[in-house]
Chain A
Amino acid sequence: MRRSEEEIRAEALRQKIIGLGETSHRKSYYPQLQEQIDELHATLKALQDSENKYRTLIENVNVGIFRSDIKDKGRLVQANPAMCRILGYEDERAILEADPDEFYQDPQDRRAIIDELKKEGRIKDKKVRMRPRSGGTIIVSMTMTALYDEMGDISFIDGVIEDITEKEMKEEALRQANKKWNLLSSITRHDINNQAMVLDGYLTLAMERTTDAEVRKLLSKARSSVQSIERHVAFAKDYQDIGINAPRWFDLRESLINALIPLDKASLSVRLEVDDYTIFADPMIGKVFYNLAQNVVRHSKGSVLEISTKEEDGSLVLSFQDNGVGIRDKSRLFMRSNSTSGFGLFLSKEILSITGVDIRETGEAGKGARFEIIFAEGQYRSPAASQGLPKQ
């Protein structure tokens, strides 16, 4: 038995020596061959390096990366170590064998995702509740792209998932803390306002009861202090609301009209020369318009306010021009410490800065104040472009 194996081996060797097979080549060497081999080696090495680089990257990232075969019940055909870790599988082989329905808390979610992918071709940052093999629930953010075969049908889905369970929990905790803080803040404001009102009432009474000019002067100062407290409380209320709601598109003229309703029209007449623009801003934008109008009466001592729009270097300039004395010292105009403006301008600037909108004062002292709000490209839509946009 052993001999016959050896004989087979010997015969195979003999055939190779005779050399009629495919591995027997006459030497036909050209110097270029070496160059080609060298080049090939260099290319292969570069390729290997680059492959290693990407493989290490994919293996080391903290987000799960996968490809699933939609024609094989959505079974995974590729998964990186982070994907296995997130879903609690020991290695790629184990996760590739798993039924993808098992990944989801509610398998219905999976079908909804596939339907959406069929319609949209792509899903971005979708929050899904998944079920790791070890049990429990995790929340992941999924981004997926469909790959199509030559018939135009989805063949594979490439996706990235990130375990955001902890992030979600932290955000929830933050929401809770914020809620408590707002509650505390509004109760406190309410209490302070009540007490300030009572205090103001007593001070008024005290002023009526005394004829001592010295005392009346002191009481008057005390009253303006109380009013200052009320302003601070009002500021705290406004400031609390900034940035709470997401910015969106507003019809500019409509926003202005609504914002200026509470104004005392007897002391200020407003001329509106505004085109049909829409602007992208924080929902508190109305507060800004109101503040600027209020400013005319309070600080510039004007009686006429002209609000107009103008496009300049690709930007939209919305200006508030009054006929008052204007503003002499502009250095601390938009600072919180500028108590003379009652925090209004500081607040306005804060509200505008949420969407990156700028504000400046360009008026000449003695010729009235002129505030300009500058909406850069992308922050506004011109009358033509805003046609057909739903009114706010």
Chain B
Amino acid sequence: MYEQFPVRKFVAPEIILGNGSRSLVGQYAKTLHGRNVFLVSDPGILRAGWAGEVRDELERQDIHVVLFDKVSPNPRTSEVAKGSQEYQENECDLLVAVGGGSPMDCAKAIGAVVTNRCHVLDLEGVDEVTVPGPPMICVPTTAGSSADVSQFAIISDENKRRKFGIISKAMVPDVSLIDPEVTLTMPPNLTAETGIDALSHAFESYVSNASSNMTDMYALEATKMIARYLPQAYEEPAELRFREKVMLGSMYAGLAFSNASLGLVHSMAHSLGGYLDHSHGECNAKLLEVVVAFNHSTVPERYSALEAAMDGSSSCTTRGLESLRSRLRELTDSLDMDPGLSKMGVREEDIPYLTENAYNDACHVTNPRPAYREDIARLFHEAL
């Protein structure tokens, strides 16, 4: 069943990694012939000062900047429409996104809408982006979403209270300036949520039925770094050396999931996030354990490898599901994350709607164990 050396593709942007890499934004904007930049960010990042710093850097290179910061934590179709309209009205020629997953996904969707002259809902699905968007540079300010390296953009369909994915190799940004320094301003809860998102990326891509040797390597290394350093970054937010490790782990996880895709955790988390507008990381944190339990019997040796990576060892002795579950709970406990969806406000009667949307999400087609509606509903119940 499992191929040892399957034919696989690996796509990644040009990555510049290291402290201070954000200052190269002006140089890269020029390389990409940007004269009029559409800078996508959000109010929080603006307050933290990172968007302003990037703008100054661009303007120092005589590049005109149009700032767009009307992006919610779960970016909406209306915001994408507004953004693409402003992009065209200002005749911009380059996208720069500064922020977490939300501004980056919003910027990616804006780019695709601009070049494809369509509504963002028309781009839903896999390979529906026929014309690549304008050139794009990302400066991620969280260590988790990895939208800066991935082929995914997740947008909220606010009218139907669901999220949908735009999945296409054309959505991979051109340049990612990964700078751990900008994650220093993340509050602890955001550090925890985004970190668990990154761990979910590593887990899901490693057990994905589209994984490959390259993505496996990144997924295991990501798991190792996040499990070890995320609690420390959470405890000591100002310690740059922990931030660096978590950032690197997040990027590894991003490269893994962008190319191997994800699984049921993300399908369910997208449904949940679209319905209740909760943070993506929080949703993942509450679903990871139940999905691991669901998948475990299909790929037990893969989960053993992940557990070993969490413990920093490379020995793959089979320890079983319960051992992994307690290891995961240990991690979320250390991040002060409570289990249970009911605490997020999910009610019994919401489950059919959540199930339908999760089932229709593309992420779980690569889940190791096929999941049907009744499985998903049961898992939502278990997670309540």
Q: Does A18 sit at the interface, judged by CB under 8 A?
A: yes
Q: Which residues of A contact B65 (CB under 8 A)?
A: none
Q: Taking CB as reference atom, which chain B residue is nearest A31?
A: B33
Interface members, chain B 7-28 (any A CB < 8 Å): 7-9, 11
Q: Which residues of A contact B366 (CB under 8 A)?
A: 14, 17
State whether B135 touches A29 (Cβ < 8 A).
Answer: yes
Known: A14-B366, A17-B167, A26-B172. A3 touches B126 (CB 8 A): no
State whether B210 touches A31 (Cβ < 8 A).
Answer: no
Q: How far is the CB of A297 from chain B (nearest CB, A)?
A: 90
Known: A26-B169, A31-B33. A17 touches B261 (CB 8 A): yes
Q: Does B171 sit at the interface, judged by CB under 8 A?
A: yes
Q: Which residues of B contact A29 (CB under 8 A)?
A: 132-135, 174
Task: Give the docked Cα–Cα distance between A14 and B41 (Å).
Answer: 32
Q: How far is the CB of B152 from chain A (nearest CB, A)?
A: 10
State whether A18 touches B210 (Cβ < 8 A).
Answer: yes
Interface members, chain A 12-53 (any B CB < 8 Å): 13-14, 16-21, 23-29, 31, 33-34, 37
Q: How far is the CB of B113 from chain A (nearest CB, A)?
A: 13
State whether A27 touches B169 (Cβ < 8 A).
Answer: yes
Q: Does A10 sit at the interface, judged by CB under 8 A?
A: yes
State whether A17 touches B174 (Cβ < 8 A).
Answer: no
Q: Which residues of B contact A11 (CB under 8 A)?
A: 365
Task: Give the docked Cα–Cα distance between A13 and B132 (Å).
Answer: 20
Q: Which residues of A contact B93 (CB under 8 A)?
A: 31, 34
Task: Give the docked Cα–Cα distance between A34 and B117 (Å).
Answer: 11
State whether A28 touches B33 (Cβ < 8 A).
Answer: no
Q: Does B183 sit at the interface, judged by CB under 8 A?
A: no
B174 touches which of A13, A14, A27 (Cβ 8 Å): A27
A10 touches which of B7, B11, B135, B370 (Cβ 8 Å): B370
Q: Does B176 sit at the interface, judged by CB under 8 A?
A: no
Most chain B CB within a 10 A radius of its CB, from A19, A20, A24, A33: A19
Q: Does A7 sit at the interface, judged by CB under 8 A?
A: yes
Task: Give the docked Cα–Cα distance between A308 and B296 (Å).
Answer: 121
Q: Taking CB as reference atom, which chain B residue is nearest A14?
A: B365
| Proximity bits, B169-197, A CB within 8 Å = 1, else 0 | 11111100000000000000000000000
State whether B170 touches A17 (Cβ < 8 A).
Answer: no
State whether A20 touches B171 (Cβ < 8 A).
Answer: no
State whether A34 touches B134 (Cβ < 8 A).
Answer: yes
Q: Does B362 sit at the interface, judged by CB under 8 A?
A: yes
A27 touches which of B167, B171, B365 (Cβ 8 Å): B171
Known: A10-B365, A17-B210. A25 touches B7 (CB 8 A): no
State whether B126 touches A16 (Cβ < 8 A).
Answer: yes
| Proximity bits, B258-291, A CB within 8 Å = 1, else 0 | 0001000000000000000000000000000000
Most chain A CB within a 10 A radius of its CB, from B132, B174, B370: B132
Q: Does B168 sit at the interface, judged by CB under 8 A?
A: yes
Q: How far is the CB of A40 from chain B (nearest CB, A)?
A: 11
State whether A37 touches B115 (Cβ < 8 A).
Answer: yes
State whether B135 touches A24 (Cβ < 8 A).
Answer: no
Known: A3-B372, A27-B169, A29-B134. A19 touches B209 (CB 8 A): no
State whether A27 touches B362 (Cβ < 8 A).
Answer: no
| Proximity bits, A142-169, B CB within 8 Å = 1, else 0 | 0000000000000000000000000000
Q: How far is the CB of B179 from chain A (nearest CB, A)?
A: 22
State whether B172 touches A27 (Cβ < 8 A).
Answer: yes
Q: Which residues of A contact B53 (CB under 8 A)?
A: none
State whether A14 touches B209 (Cβ < 8 A).
Answer: yes
Q: Which residues of B contact A14 (CB under 8 A)?
A: 209-210, 261, 365-366
Q: Which residues of B contact A21 (CB under 8 A)?
A: 127
| Proximity bits, B230-264, A CB within 8 Å = 1, else 0 | 00000000000000000000000000000001000
Q: Which residues of A contact B170 (CB under 8 A)?
A: 25-27
Q: Does B293 sit at the interface, judged by CB under 8 A?
A: no
State whether B8 touches A13 (Cβ < 8 A).
Answer: no
Q: How far is the CB of A134 from chain B (nearest CB, A)?
A: 49
Q: Does B131 sit at the interface, judged by CB under 8 A?
A: yes
B9 touches which of A7, A19, A37 (Cβ 8 Å): A19
Q: Taking CB as reference atom, which chain A residue is nearest B363?
A: A17
Task: Give the docked Cα–Cα distance between A4 and B210 (Å).
Answer: 20
Q: Taking CB as reference atom, which chain A residue is nearest B135?
A: A29
Interface members, chain B 121-151 (any A CB < 8 Å): 126-127, 131-135, 151
Q: Which residues of A contact B370 (CB under 8 A)?
A: 7, 10
Q: How far is the CB of A276 from chain B (nearest CB, A)?
A: 76
State whether A17 touches B132 (Cβ < 8 A).
Answer: no
Most chain B CB within a 10 A radius of its CB, from A11, A17, A26, A37: A17
State whether B126 touches A25 (Cβ < 8 A).
Answer: no
State whether A18 touches B132 (Cβ < 8 A).
Answer: no
State whether B33 touches A13 (Cβ < 8 A).
Answer: no
State whether B169 touches A24 (Cβ < 8 A).
Answer: yes
Task: Give the docked Cα–Cα distance between A39 and B11 (Å).
Answer: 31
Q: How far is the CB of A38 from chain B (nearest CB, A)?
A: 10
Q: Which residues of A contact B174 (CB under 8 A)?
A: 27, 29
Q: Which 6 A/B pairs are nearest by Cβ-Cβ distance? A: A16-B126, A23-B127, A10-B365, A27-B132, A13-B365, A17-B261
28 contacts between A and B (CB under 8 A): A3-B372, A6-B372, A7-B370, A10-B365, A13-B126, A14-B261, A14-B365, A14-B366, A16-B126, A17-B126, A18-B8, A18-B9, A18-B210, A19-B11, A19-B169, A20-B8, A21-B127, A23-B127, A24-B127, A24-B168, A25-B170, A27-B170, A27-B171, A27-B172, A27-B173, A29-B134, A33-B132, A34-B134
Q: A26-B11, A28-B132 are in contact. List 11 more A-B contacts (CB 8 A).
A: A14-B261, A14-B365, A18-B8, A24-B127, A25-B169, A26-B170, A27-B169, A27-B171, A29-B135, A31-B135, A34-B134
